[in-house]
Structure 1
């Protein structure tokens, strides 16, 4: 386990929003900030895209711990896109949205370096490829 004065916090994409993953991370004493699909529902059946308050304390369907949900607007091309983020700790609605937005910038950076600079061709299964990946991750 990681030791120090601060609790570790995992930032993850919406692909990792399964209940099993979230509960396993929380059981290890790690806080989580994770992207959420727009069609995810609360325990009462309400979709999260119908929430009106940022930082809403919610019980999501199929998930035991209570989570805090917020959103941010992502401007790509001409149409703004509403993206959702949730956390097990109450960071406040605006701050949680800011943290989620920061993570999406990092995702955009990796998408760019994969597409324009050929990162997807790095041999990440070799020692050299792993070192390249760590160097680029550190730069991000």
Structure 2
């Protein structure tokens, strides 16, 4: 609806209202006190302004809380990244140590196996020497 049409419509509604008010009997007519309506309207507007200001204050507090929360989140993400980096370095070091330990275990197993073979061989040699010595001693004693 264009402004001109709205104006004409509004004017016609108002004129019809005035005609209906004028045609009412005077005793049923409610006294129209503009100052009361104005005061009531002003009171309502002031109350609405208070609500709007309250909503703005609440929004401002929420914005501040959100900014603080986002700042804390950013710090936590940064700390998490640092911890993840430290964890990765620690895991690399531990894996290197475990690899060295596995190499040492393998070398120790090989060395123990060779030592056991050496001991077995030395037992055989010792027993052989004892038998031979005993045999030689018997021959010497017999002679």
Give the TM-score normalised by structure 2.
Answer: 0.21
Which structure's residues are more often helix, by fraction?
2
Which structure's residues are more often strand, by fraction?
1
Q: Which fold has the larger relative contact order, with Cα–Cα distance below 8 Å and residues 6 or more apart in sequence?
A: 1
| Larger radius of gyration between Structure 1 and Structure 2 | 2
